[in-house]
């Protein structure tokens, strides 16, 4: 074996070692994403249970609306829905910018998503204040506040996660080796969005 | 594997002496083997606590009159007995087995998420102690039975916000969060951390059954959580979800509850099926009969488990068509479980049987399981179910499953892997004594419950008609025998762990990745990841299991 051959062998060995190291690194991020998807699937069963409960109540309760309540106003929640659903596209744009290593583009659209989410929560708070029924106004009031409240809690969690990811983007080297946190937060945001669409149809459209 | 290098922890110690140090079992360790043993030992503590509750109950029932404890105390005792046995003992001890065994059986260095693993474990003592401390709040702990049905569970007679039921709901929710963390971790580990060559049909059946069980946790537990949240709102925040006078529907809670809590039985028994499948081939010196069918039938049980829950509600005003549907689906479950039973019998058949303690427990567990399976088929039939609904027949049936089959399997598993976990060998004589005490105690305790139920003795009562006295005395003697049976077990475990003779790496001459490791295994399990080339259970074939590990 000549010395050049040996050097080449050495180089190949080094390369393969690096490849394995990268694979491991990749695997850990892959594991995290895989686990997170499983978690979201599991979490969705809580919502499914609430939805199933809502449908049972809605179809079997004789006096569905509490006395003095005509129904729910659809206009404001519809605007809110449009904003939340659009924010799913905005967060996708933010992710693309990060993918292209454009951190400022990422931060701008990421912050915009947070603003839209916050506006959604604000709109919901305003709606809650204007309502003439409370949490304990029969199963109508109970399911309404349970569903919107539990979903709102998820929106709030999403905004918190987004805040953490935004702060992390200012710390150096955080998004060099993959960005599992950003991808997971974004996936969570889409999840919250889809849940809201089902919820909106069930509660507001189907009256 | 940078993830699993916990810099602050004593397990980084390189000397073997320090590896064996007991201190790491009290630390926030991220080593799956330490966490596994933490789970098992903590769970055993709660098993003893709930077992003492059971013996107080049997003490009460040894005479027909309510003379030992107050009736409300009795209610609290049966509620907390069931609750702590399931949430404090069963789920944690099985999580412990899965934690310890799955990574070394699939050739991984640790679980996929070691820190999440540790967090999930440390929730166990928290909610377990919450259950116990709820005896101290005014009005005592929850008294509505382990299923916590409204309207009984939302009575709150003391009127305080901090009441037993409130603590119960909170603790059950924490237990649920811990179990979901565990399930996400275990499923990810099994699906993504297998070593080279470890294809689906090279995985030991234990890994298959753990996977099948943890999938149930993922789709079932959230339903219970949803029901628990709604019940908490009814109890503490004035909603009327389950109050029929305000338009609520109490049966809906039963649906939420059983949608999880029936499959939960499979969460518990599937890994025990796995333990049986590991133990029988070793002590019969034969490959597992029908390995692939046994493996796949676990996932079939997972699928069917999602569509049987209403058989707990045949007497809850369930419409006729629904009863028929769920009676049918429930009977279907006996097909995949029957396949397993025949496979185990086929494994033992004509084998070179060694009756060591693990084998004794597995055989005892198998016998008890067949018996409980037969009463299970009886109960799935609507007419019989309605006749014996809420009687001791039901209590006898599920104790045969949970104690007779599951706890036997767990004891068998503990004895089988004890040499691997500790590096020491237990005392065989004490083990055999433990087995016979347990087997006789189980039979005496739970068999008389069947005639009692058929005679019409209702469950959850502190006093009863004197005509039931004979069988109750027998059951109580059996219960005290079971209590005593833990004494030789504890003496055996503690003394042989401290001063037992060295076990060696493979005392059973068993085939499996875990038996190629040292006893106890090193922190990172495998020096070099194994390359698996053979199916498991290659007894009598004299082929190597891996390419690179001897």
Q: Select from B111, B182, B226 the residue whose CB has the most chain A CBs within 10 Å, as the one to mutate to test that interface.
A: B226
A56 CB within 8 Å of a chain B CB:
yes
Domain count of chain A?
1
Q: Which domain holds residue A159?
A: 50-205
Q: Which residues of chain A from 11 to 40 reach within 8 Å of chain B, CB to CB?
A: 24, 27-28, 30-32, 34-35, 38-39
For the stretch B196-236, pLDDT in tens is 999 999 999 999 999 999 999 999 999 999 999 999 999 99
Using the predicted structure, report yes or no on whether residue B376 has a pLDDT greater than 60.
yes
Tell me which residue of B335, B334, B265 sits closest to B306, measured CA to CA.
B265
Euclidean distance between CA atoms B212 and B417, whole angstroms:
22
Name the maximum alpha-carbon separation found in chain B: 70
Euclidean distance between CA atoms B533 and B547, whole angstroms:
6
Per-residue model confidence (pLDDT) at position A157? 97
For the stretch A9-20, pLDDT in tens is 555 555 554 545
Euclidean distance between CA atoms B460 and B149, whole angstroms:
14
Would residue B221 count as lying in a domain?
A: yes
- Cβ–Cβ gap A57/B247 under 8 Å: yes
Would residue B90 count as lying in a domain?
A: yes
Would residue A146 count as lying in a domain?
A: yes
Q: What percent of chain B has pLDDT over 70?
A: 96
- ipTM associated with this complex: 0.91
Tell me which residue of B146, B114, B121 sits closest to B4, measured CA to CA.
B114
Question: Are the C-beta atoms of B404 and B438 separated by less than 8 Å?
Answer: no
Using the predicted structure, report yes or no on whether residue A26 has a pLDDT greater than 70.
no
Would residue B491 count as lying in a domain?
A: yes
Using the predicted structure, report yes or no on whether residue A113 has a pLDDT greater than 50.
yes
Looking at the DSSP assignment, which residues form a beta bridge with residue B546? B532
Q: Which two tokens stand for residue B474?
A: 């027998």
Contacts of B190 (CB under 8 A, 6+ apart): B102, B106, B203, B207, B210, B211
**By CA distance, what is A146's nearest residue in B?**
B230
CB pairs under 8 A between A and B: 102
Would residue A167 count as lying in a domain?
A: yes
Would residue A2 count as lying in a domain?
A: no
The CATH number of whichever domain residue B289 belongs to comes to 1.20.210.10
Q: Which two tokens stand for residue A1?
A: 């074996």
What is the rounded average pLDDT of the residues B49-63?
96
- Cβ–Cβ gap A46/B183 under 8 Å: no
Q: Which domain holds residue B35?
A: 30-516
- Rounded to a whole number of angstroms, the CA Rg of chain B reads 23
B510: left (phi over 0), alpha (psi -120 to 50) or beta: beta
- Cβ–Cβ gap A49/B226 under 8 Å: yes
Residue located via tokens 């709606």: A127
CA distance B546 to chain A (A): 21
**By CA distance, what is B257's nearest residue in A?**
A49
Would residue B21 count as lying in a domain?
A: no
Using the predicted structure, report yes or no on whether residue B182 has a pLDDT greater than 70.
yes
Residue located via tokens 């007894």: B539
Euclidean distance between CA atoms B145 and B143, whole angstroms:
6
Contacts of B357 (CB under 8 A, 6+ apart): B412, B415, B426, B428, B431, B432, B434, B435
Confidence of residue B2 (pLDDT cuts 50, 70, 90): very low
Would residue B101 count as lying in a domain?
A: yes
Class of residue B312 by CB neighbours under 10 A (exposed 0-12, middle 13-18, buried 19+): buried
For the stretch B96-136, pLDDT in tens is 999 999 999 999 999 999 999 999 999 999 999 999 999 99
For the stretch B533-544, pLDDT in tens is 999 999 988 888
Would residue B356 count as lying in a domain?
A: yes
For the stretch A34-77, pLDDT in tens is 999 999 999 999 999 999 999 999 999 888 888 888 889 999 99
- Cβ–Cβ gap A139/B247 under 8 Å: yes
State chain B's mean pLDDT as an integer. Answer: 93
B187 CB within 8 Å of a chain A CB:
yes
Would residue B185 count as lying in a domain?
A: yes
Per-residue model confidence (pLDDT) at position B249? 93
Per-residue model confidence (pLDDT) at position B541? 86
**Angle of CA points B223, B225, B231, to nearest 5°:** 105
Per-residue model confidence (pLDDT) at position A58? 93
Would residue A189 count as lying in a domain?
A: yes
Using the predicted structure, report yes or no on whether residue B499 has a pLDDT greater than 50.
yes
Euclidean distance between CA atoms A92 and B357, whole angstroms:
59
Domain count of chain B?
1
**Helix, coil or strand: residue B391:** strand
CB-CB neighbors (< 8 A) of B239 in chain A: 135-136, 139, 141-142, 146
The CATH number of whichever domain residue A126 belongs to comes to 1.20.120.80
A149 CB within 8 Å of a chain B CB:
no
Would residue A92 count as lying in a domain?
A: yes
Per-residue model confidence (pLDDT) at position B191? 96
Cis check: omega of the bond before B151, within 30 degrees of 0: yes
CB-CB neighbors (< 8 A) of A27 in chain B: 192
Phi/psi of residue B214, nearest 5 degrees: -70, -25
Confidence of residue A6 (pLDDT cuts 50, 70, 90): low
CA B69 to chain centre: 29
Per-residue model confidence (pLDDT) at position A25? 46
Would residue A180 count as lying in a domain?
A: yes
Per-residue model confidence (pLDDT) at position A11? 59
Using the predicted structure, report yes or no on whether residue B346 has a pLDDT greater than 90.
yes
- Cβ–Cβ gap B188/A34 under 8 Å: yes
Would residue B7 count as lying in a domain?
A: no
């Amino acid at each position: 074996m000549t010395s050049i051959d040996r050097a080449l062998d050495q180089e190949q060995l080094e390369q393969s070692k690096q490849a394995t190291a990268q694979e491991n690194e990749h695997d850990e991020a892959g594991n995290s994403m895989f686990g997170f998807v499983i978690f979201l699937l599991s979490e969705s069963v809580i919502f499914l249970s609430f939805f199933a409960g809502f449908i049972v109540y809605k179809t079997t309760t004789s006096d569905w609306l509490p006395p003095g309540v005509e129904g729910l106003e659809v206009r404001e929640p519809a605007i809110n829905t449009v904003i939340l659903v659009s924010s799913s596209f905005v967060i996708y744009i933010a992710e693309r910018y990060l993918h292209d290593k454009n951190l400022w583009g990422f931060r701008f659209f990421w912050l915009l998503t947070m603003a839209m989410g916050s506006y959604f929560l604000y709109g919901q708070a305003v709606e809650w204040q204007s309502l003439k029924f409370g949490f304990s106004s029969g199963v109508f009031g109970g399911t309404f506040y349970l569903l919107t409240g539990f979903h709102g809690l998820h929106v709030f969690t999403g905004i918190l996660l987004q805040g953490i990811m935004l702060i992390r983007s200012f710390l150096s080297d955080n998004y060099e080796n993959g960005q599992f946190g950003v991808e997971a937060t974004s996936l969570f945001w889409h999840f919250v969005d889809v849940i809201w669409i089902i919820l909106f149809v069930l509660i507001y459209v189907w009256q | 594997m940078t993830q699993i290098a916990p810099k602050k922890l004593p397990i980084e110690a390189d000397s073997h002496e320090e590896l064996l140090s007991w201190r790491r079992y009290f630390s926030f360790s991220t080593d799956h083997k330490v966490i596994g043993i933490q789970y098992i030992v903590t769970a055993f503590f709660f098993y003893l606590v709930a077992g003492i509750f059971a013996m107080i109950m049997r003490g009460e029932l040894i005479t027909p009159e309510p003379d030992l404890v107050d009736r409300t105390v009795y209610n609290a005792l049966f509620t907390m007995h069931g609750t702590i046995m399931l949430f404090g003992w069963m789920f944690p001890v099985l999580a412990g087995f899965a934690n310890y065994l799955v990574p070394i059986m699939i050739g991984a260095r640790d679980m996929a998420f070691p820190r999440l693993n540790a967090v999930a474990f440390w929730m166990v003592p928290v909610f377990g102690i919450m259950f116990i401390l709820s005896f101290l709040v005014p009005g005592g702990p929850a008294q509505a039975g382990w299923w916590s049905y409204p309207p009984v569970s939302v009575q709150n007679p003391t009127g305080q916000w901090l009441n037993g039921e409130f603590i119960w709901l909170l603790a059950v929710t924490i237990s649920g969060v811990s179990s979901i963390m565990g399930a996400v971790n275990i499923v990810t580990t099994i699906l993504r951390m297998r070593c080279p060559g470890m294809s689906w049909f090279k995985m030991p059946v234990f890994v298959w059954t753990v996977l099948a069980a943890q999938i149930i946790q993922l789709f079932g537990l959230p339903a219970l959580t949803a029901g628990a949240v709604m019940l908490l709102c009814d109890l503490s925040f004035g909603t009327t979800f389950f109050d029929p006078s305000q338009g609520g529907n109490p049966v809906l809670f039963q649906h939420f509850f059983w949608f999880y809590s029936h499959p939960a039985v499979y969460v518990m028994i599937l890994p025990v099926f796995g333990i049986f499948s590991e133990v029988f081939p070793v002590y019969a010196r034969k490959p597992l009969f029908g390995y692939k069918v046994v493996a796949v039938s676990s996932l079939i049980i997972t699928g069917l488990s999602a569509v049987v829950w209403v058989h707990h509600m045949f007497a809850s005003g369930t419409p006729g068509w629904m009863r028929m549907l769920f009676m049918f689906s429930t009977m279907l479950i006996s097909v995949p479980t029957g396949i397993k039973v025949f496979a185990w019998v086929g494994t033992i058949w004509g084998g070179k049987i060694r009756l060591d303690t693990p084998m004794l427990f597995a055989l005892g567990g198998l016998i008890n399981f067949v018996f409980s399976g037969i009463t299970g088929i009886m109960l799935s039939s609507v007419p019989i179910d309605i006749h014996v609904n809420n009687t001791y027949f039901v209590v006898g049936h599920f104790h045969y499953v949970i104690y007779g089959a599951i706890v036997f399997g767990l004891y068998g598993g503990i004895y089988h892997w004890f040499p691997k976990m500790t590096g020491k060998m237990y005392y065989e004589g004490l083990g055999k004594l433990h087995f016979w005490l347990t087997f006789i105690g189980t039979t005496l305790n739970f068999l008389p419950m069947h005639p009692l139920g058929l005679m019409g003795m209702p469950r959850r009562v502190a006093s009863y008609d004197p005509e039931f006295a004979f069988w109750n005395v027998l059951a109580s003697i059996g219960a005290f025998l079971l209590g005593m049976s833990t004494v030789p077990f504890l003496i055996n475990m503690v003394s042989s762990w401290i001063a037992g003779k060295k076990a060696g790496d493979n005392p059973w001459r068993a085939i499996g990745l875990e038996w190629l490791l040292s006893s106890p295994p090193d922190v990172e399990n495998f020096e070099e990841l194994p390359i698996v080339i053979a199916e498991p259970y290659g007894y009598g074939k004299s082929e190597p299991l891996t390419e690179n590990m001897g």
